[in-house]
Structure 1
Amino acid sequence: MLTPLFSLTQTPDELILKLHIPLADLSNSEFLIEDGIVYFGAPPYYLRLELPGSVVEDEDYIQFRLESGDMFITMTKSTPGEHFEDLDLLSRFVINPASKNTASKAGIQVLDSTAVPPEGKTDYDWFLELPEEINSVNNTDEDHMNVEIVKYPYGFAASKSGLFVDKPETCLPIDLPNPDFCPPLKRHQLQLQSVRDHFQAEHYVADYYETEVSANALRQSIPWVENKHGGPEFSDEYRYRLTVLSTHALPLLPPSPSDIDSTEEVKLEDTRTFVYLGLVDLLLAYTYDYRVREGDENCESGWVIAKIAATLSWLELFPNLPTLLRSFYERTLTYPLIRNWKLCRKVQDDVASLLQHENAKAWILYILLEIRRMLIDYPGYYIFVDLFLDDYIVWLQKSASAYILKHLGEAIVSVKMKKADVNLPLRKIEQIAAEALEEEEALAENLGGISLNS
C-alpha cells in the first residue's frame, strides 16, 4: 500500500485534510475517524493519521470533495476557534505499523532504534565549561589515530559507526582523516588546526576594507525575520519527502540533562546537548549561504554549507554554545567567498530570531529540507543526508522541543562574540594592515609633492 501525499490546513472552525490520490479505487474506499485517528483506505493508498486536535467525529460534520485527483476532507473542530499547532510537521502525524529493526543501509550501522517521545520543558546548560585542551591546537598526540581498534560513533546523535571502513570513497566530502577511529576531542583539535592552516590573512583584509563586497549580503532580507508571525510555504516535493520520511526510524537518543545524575561523569557523546547544537550549526551555515546568494539558487550551496558546518565536514560534536559559535566564525572567515565579521554577527542574530520565532519548528523544518536538497544536488554529498539530514528532519517533528529551541535562541542572543574570542589573529592582522595603509598613503602624499623641476 502507498502512503498518499497529504497536507493539513485550517480555518477558525474547521480542519481540512487534502489527499493526493490520482490512482485511487474510490469504489472500494473507506474513511473513519475514531479516538482522534483518521483511517483512510482506497487501493493502492492507505493512511492512518493522528489528528493535531479534537474534531467532531460524527459523519454529519464531515464533508468530502474531489478535484483533479485530490480529495478534500473537511472536519469540524470540537472547539470552534481553537488553533491547531504545527500542521506543517507532517511526519509527526503519520502512524506507522510497528517496524522491525531493519538492516543498515549504505554501510551505516544504526546502534539502536526506537520510538522517541516529544521532549518537554527541559533546561540545558549551553555554557558547560570544558577542559582547556578542547580548544588547543597544540595537542598533537596521535595515539588515537594510529591504533585502529576502537571505532567511534558519529552522525546524528552519534548513532552511526563503521561506514568508512569498507567504503573509504564515501568519506571524500569529509575533511576529518580516518573518521571511524578518531574520538570527538581529537576531531575538534584537528579541525582547529585545519582552520589555522587554511586561513588567508590577505583575503580577510581585502574583505575588511572592501566593504562593498559584503554590502548586499548584509542588506539581504531574511524571510523569518520579515514574516514574524507566518510560516514557510512547503512545495509538493517537500510534502512528499515528509510523507516518505514518516516511516523513517530514529536512532536511540542520548539522555537529556534531566535524565542524568548530576554526580555522574558522562562523555560528550552521551548527552543530548550536541544534538541541538549540531542543528544550530546547520542553521548558521544555511543562513550565511542564504545571505551571500541573496536568496537565489546557487549550485555551490551544498559545498558552502558542508564546509562551514563542522558538524558535517568534521563530524563535530559540540559541547557548548561558545565552542559552536567560535567554530562558525572561524570557518566562515576561512573558507567561503565572503569573509566578513559583521556578516557573521548578522547571521548569528538571524538564527537567534529563527529559534525564537512562533513558528520556529516549521521554518527550521523547511530549512532542513532545503539543505537536504542542496546536499543531494552537490556531487558526492548525499552521505550527509544519510548521516544527519533525514534523522534531523524526523527528530525535529517528533521529538525536538520548541521550548528548548526558544531558550537556545535566547542563549545565542546573550553571546557577544569578540574578535579576541576566535583562534585567529584578527586584531593583529587589522593593525598590520592599517599601518601598511598609512605608510602607503604617506608615500603617495610625499610622491605627490615632488616637482619635476626640483
Structure 2
Amino acid sequence: NVHPNYKVSFESVVLYIPDLMILENNEWFNDKILSFIGEYLMIRIADRKVHVFLPPETEMIRHAKGEEEVEMYFGMLEVHLKPVVAFIVNNNEDVTRANGGSHWSLLVFDRKTDDFYHFDSANNYNHAAAEALMEKSRWLVGQEDGTRKLIAVKCLQQENGKDCGVYVANFLHALCEHQNVEDIGKMERIVLPRQAWRDLILSFGTFVFWITQDDTSLLIRIRAPHGNLAELDYDHGGFMFVFTCPPYFLRLQFKQMVEEYGSGNGKVEWKSEEGEFHIRIPKVHKNEQFTNLDMITELLNPTLEPHGRAMVEELEDVDSEDVDPEDVEEDPEGNEFLIDQEVPEPECPQTDDFLKNHGYGFGWTKIGVIERLRAEIGKIVDIQNPEDVEIEKRVEEMSKVDLEAFDEGRYLADTLEPEQDLLSIIASPFSLPLDLTDEDRVRLKDLRKTKIQKIWASDLEIATSLVDILYAYCYDQRVNQWETNCESGWTCSKLSPSLSYFVKFGSVKACLISSIRRSLTYPLYRNFSLSSQIINDVCHVIKSDRTALLHILCDIHRIFIESGEFRYILNDLFITDYIFWIQSVPEDVLKTILKEMETEGIQKEDVGWDLEILETEARIIAVALDSDDEPDH
C-alpha cells in the first residue's frame, strides 16, 4: 500500500522509494540512509550533546581546499563547544559521483582526551580517508594539540561486504546514547540489526487511523500530517473505503456495508491542529453494529471467505475479441481490488511428513530456520537442534532440562522467606494496559502477511501455545510493575515453552504446568504463589476481549525487536503470524481455552517436582536448627 511518491523524512533528510528499497533488499546503506540515522541519533538520542557530521558534510570537509573553506561552510555550527563530535566517513575519492566509495566507518573527536578515534569494521580499511578528514577538521573541532595522531580503535568487525553501514549506525548509537567514546570499543555484538533500522526509519513515514461508530455512521480519523491536501481523494461504498493523500494511502475492507460516495451523505474535515482528516461515512443499515473495527490488519488485508472452487481453473479457448465487455461479471464485493501480495517461500527440500513431525514456529509450519542461522543467533532458544527432535518428544526433553536446572535452594528461599518486594508483586492488582496504542496501530498497518502453505495444527492447539506466550509476558509485566525493561525480551522468550522449546501441548493444563515449571526455574523470583497469580492474569487478559490480545502480541513484537540478541527472529517464527491469526480466529476457540484455564486449577503436586516434600523437609531442618540454638536450662 505505497503511493509512487511515498517518502519518509526526518528534519532535513528525505528518503524516497529507491532509498527504502535498500532496507527491504538488505543492500549496502547509501549516504541518505546514514544521513537519516545520523540526524535521528544526534537529535533524538544524544539531544544534540553530540554533533554528527553527515556523509555529504563529511565529504565537503575532507575535500575542502583548506581550513578557511571548512570554516566558511561549518563555522557557524560552533562544534568546538561540543564535548564529542562524530563524522560518518566514506572512502569516496570522486566528489562528483553520487553514492561513490565502497566503505563506511566512524571518526570521533573526544574533547576530554583531545584525540581523534577511528572505528572501522573492516580492519581499518578507511584509515587514509579518516586521517585526511582529521587533518581538515582539527581547527573546526578546536583540538588543542594539532600534532596528535589518529588512534585506530579495536572494534567489532563485519563478516560480509555490505554491513559496514549497519556497524557505523550501531557505533554511532552507542556513542549518542551516553556520549562516551569508550562505549564503542566495548561493544560485543550488534545491538540494532538491519531489521531494527528498517522499522525505525519506516515509522517516520507511517500514519495512524482510528474508527468509531454511532447508530448511523462510521467516523474514520486519519492522522496524516504531511499529506498533500491538493491531491486528497477518497471513495467508499459497499464494503470498501479508499483514501489517498500523497504520500499516504489507505484501503479498508469492512464486514458490513457503507453507503456509496455518490449518495452525498458523507463528510470530510481537515483538523490542522491535530494533522488529522475526519471522514464520516453513513451506514447502509442504520443501527447495525460494525464488528472488528480494532482488528487493524484484518481491515487492511481481509481474509477472503473460503470456497471449494479450484484455485486455478482451465477455461475453454475463447478469442478475447469475441467477448462482450458487458458480459464480464464484476465481483459485487469488490474483491478484484484485494490482490494477494505474497513473499515467495524459500525452497525447502523437506517432505510434508518431516515438517509435520519436526516443524516449529506458528502452527509448527516452519523448518530449517534455526539450523541455518544457528552460528549467527547463538542460543536465543533452548532447543539446540529442533530439526532432530520430533514434536511429540520435545515436552519430555524440555521437562528433563528444566528439572536439571531447577535450584531447590532458590525456590525454598523465595517460598519460605520471601522478600517484601516479592510479596508486594504477588499482591499487586492487575494493572496491565490492554487498549491498542498508536504504536500498535502503526505496527499493524505495516506488518506484511505471508502465506502459510499448509497448517496441520488445529486452532485449539495454536491457541494453547498462545497461553504460554501470554504467561511469559504477564510474568514479565507483573514483576516489573507493569512495564518493560532491558530484560523483558529474555524473560518473554525464556519462560515460554513454545518460544524456547517449540513444544506442542495436548491440553491447556499441560501447557500451564510447563509454564509454571519454567517460572520456578529460570527468572529472578521463583515462587508458586506468584506463578499461580500469573495464571489469573492470563485469564483476565483472555476475558477482556480480542483487542487486549492483539495489543499484547504487538507489544511482544516490539520487545523482541528492541531487546537485541536476534530475538526479532521469534517474530518471524511466531508473533507476526499470531497477530494475524488472533484477528480472525473464531471466538469459540478463545472461550474453550478460557474455560479450561478456569476449571483446571494447578496445584503444587501437579508440577511433579515434590515441592511440598521439599518445603516440609526444609521446615523440619529449620526447626531443628532453631532448637539447637536455644540455650540449655
Is residue 2:430 matched to residue 1:222?
Answer: yes
Structure 2 vs 1, CA of residues 198 and 386 (structure 1 numbering), >3 Å: closer, same or farther?
same
Residue number in structure 2 paired with 1:234: 436
Residue number in structure 2 paired with 1:423: 608
Q: Any conservation in 1 of the 2:355–2:366 contact (CA below 8 Å)?
A: no
Q: Any conservation in 1 of the 2:266–2:279 contact (CA below 8 Å)?
A: yes
Q: Any conservation in 1 of the 2:436–2:548 contact (CA below 8 Å)?
A: no
Q: Any conservation in 1 of the 2:407–2:521 contact (CA below 8 Å)?
A: yes
- Identity between Structure 1 and Structure 2 (%): 27
How many pairs are equivalent? 388
The residue type paired with residue 382 of structure 1 is Y
The residue type paired with residue 209 of structure 1 is L
Among candidates 16, 19, 24, match of residue 219 of structure 2? 16
Distance 2:281 2:350 in 1: 40
After TM superposition, the structure 1 stretch with the greater mean CA deviation from structure 2, 436-445 or 26-35, is 26-35
Residue number in structure 2 paired with 1:190: 397
Q: Which has the larger radius of gyration?
A: 2
Residue number in structure 1 paired with 2:410: 203
Distance 1:103 1:36 in 2: 29
Among candidates 363, 383, 387, match of residue 569 of structure 2? 383
Is residue 2:533 matched to residue 1:346?
Answer: yes
Q: Any conservation in 2 of the 1:151–1:180 contact (CA below 8 Å)?
A: no
The residue type paired with residue 164 of structure 1 is I
SS of structure 1 residue aligned to 2:564: coil
Q: Any conservation in 2 of the 1:312–1:384 contact (CA below 8 Å)?
A: yes
SS of structure 2 residue aligned to 1:18: strand
The alpha-carbon deviation at position 150 of structure 1 amounts to: 10
Structure 2 vs 1, CA of residues 12 and 277 (structure 1 numbering), >3 Å: closer, same or farther?
same
Among candidates 300, 315, 325, match of residue 94 of structure 1? 300
The alpha-carbon deviation at position 270 of structure 1 amounts to: 4.1
Aligned CA-pair RMSD: 2.8
SS of structure 2 residue aligned to 1:61: coil
Structure 2 vs 1, CA of residues 7 and 149 (structure 1 numbering), >3 Å: closer, same or farther?
closer
Residue number in structure 2 paired with 1:153: 359
Q: Any conservation in 2 of the 1:284–1:347 contact (CA below 8 Å)?
A: yes
The alpha-carbon deviation at position 421 of structure 1 amounts to: 1.1
Structure 2 vs 1, CA of residues 297 and 110 (structure 1 numbering), >3 Å: closer, same or farther?
farther
Alignment of 1:147-186 (within 5 A): 152-168=358-374, 169-170=376-377, 172-186=379-393
The residue type paired with residue 6 of structure 1 is F
The residue type paired with residue 155 of structure 1 is G
Q: Any conservation in 1 of the 2:497–2:503 contact (CA below 8 Å)?
A: yes
Is residue 2:484 matched to residue 1:297?
Answer: yes
Residue number in structure 1 paired with 2:617: 432
Q: Deviations over 1:79-116 (max 9, x none)?
A: 555443332211111147423542348x999999xxxx
Alignment of 1:356-367 (within 5 A): 356-357=543-544, 360-367=545-552
The alpha-carbon deviation at position 324 of structure 1 amounts to: 0.4
The residue type paired with residue 397 of structure 2 is L
SS of structure 2 residue aligned to 1:93: helix
Q: Deviations over 1:309-337 (max 9, x none)?
A: 01111111222112101101111111111
Is residue 2:495 matched to residue 1:308?
Answer: yes
The residue type paired with residue 233 of structure 2 is E
Distance 1:16 1:272 in 2: 33
Q: Any conservation in 1 of the 2:402–2:517 contact (CA below 8 Å)?
A: yes
Is residue 2:453 matched to residue 1:248?
Answer: no
The residue type paired with residue 217 of structure 1 is I
Among candidates 510, 513, 526, match of residue 326 of structure 1? 513
The alpha-carbon deviation at position 290 of structure 1 amounts to: 1.3
After TM superposition, the structure 1 stretch with the greater mean CA deviation from structure 2, 295-304 or 208-217, is 208-217
The alpha-carbon deviation at position 52 of structure 1 amounts to: 4.8
Among candidates 579, 585, 607, match of residue 393 of structure 1? 579
SS of structure 1 residue aligned to 2:264: helix
Q: Any conservation in 2 of the 1:151–1:161 contact (CA below 8 Å)?
A: no
Alignment of 1:11-50 (within 5 A): 11-50=214-253
Residue number in structure 2 paired with 1:281: 468
Distance 2:588 2:505 in 1: 20
The unaligned stretches of length 5 or more in structure 1 are 113-147, 225-230, 255-268
Is residue 2:248 matched to residue 1:7?
Answer: no
Distance 1:293 1:324 in 2: 23
Distance 2:371 2:480 in 1: 37
The residue type paired with residue 312 of structure 1 is L
SS of structure 2 residue aligned to 1:66: strand
SS of structure 1 residue aligned to 2:370: helix
Structure 2 vs 1, CA of residues 159 and 186 (structure 1 numbering), >3 Å: closer, same or farther?
same
The residue type paired with residue 450 of structure 2 is A
Residue number in structure 2 paired with 1:136: none
Distance 2:622 2:468 in 1: 36
Structure 2 vs 1, CA of residues 209 and 235 (structure 1 numbering), >3 Å: closer, same or farther?
same
The alpha-carbon deviation at position 25 of structure 1 amounts to: 3.3
Q: Any conservation in 1 of the 2:342–2:449 contact (CA below 8 Å)?
A: no
The unaligned stretches of length 5 or more in structure 2 are 4-205, 302-336
Residue number in structure 1 paired with 2:321: none
Distance 1:158 1:385 in 2: 14
Alignment of 1:45-194 (within 5 A): 45-57=248-260, 59-68=263-272, 69-95=275-301, 97-104=338-345, 152-168=358-374, 169-170=376-377, 172-194=379-401
After TM superposition, the structure 1 stretch with the greater mean CA deviation from structure 2, 360-369 or 22-31, is 22-31
Structure 2 vs 1, CA of residues 270 and 91 (structure 1 numbering), >3 Å: closer, same or farther?
closer
Distance 2:434 2:351 in 1: 34
After TM superposition, the structure 1 stretch with the greater mean CA deviation from structure 2, 10-19 or 86-95, is 10-19
Q: Any conservation in 2 of the 1:157–1:251 contact (CA below 8 Å)?
A: no
The alpha-carbon deviation at position 383 of structure 1 amounts to: 1.2
Residue number in structure 2 paired with 1:125: none
The alpha-carbon deviation at position 10 of structure 1 amounts to: 2.6
Distance 2:585 2:392 in 1: 26
Structure 2 vs 1, CA of residues 288 and 441 (structure 1 numbering), >3 Å: closer, same or farther?
same
Structure 2 vs 1, CA of residues 111 and 236 (structure 1 numbering), >3 Å: closer, same or farther?
farther
Q: Any conservation in 2 of the 1:213–1:338 contact (CA below 8 Å)?
A: no
Distance 1:111 1:98 in 2: 29
The alpha-carbon deviation at position 72 of structure 1 amounts to: 1.1
Structure 2 vs 1, CA of residues 407 and 103 (structure 1 numbering), >3 Å: closer, same or farther?
same
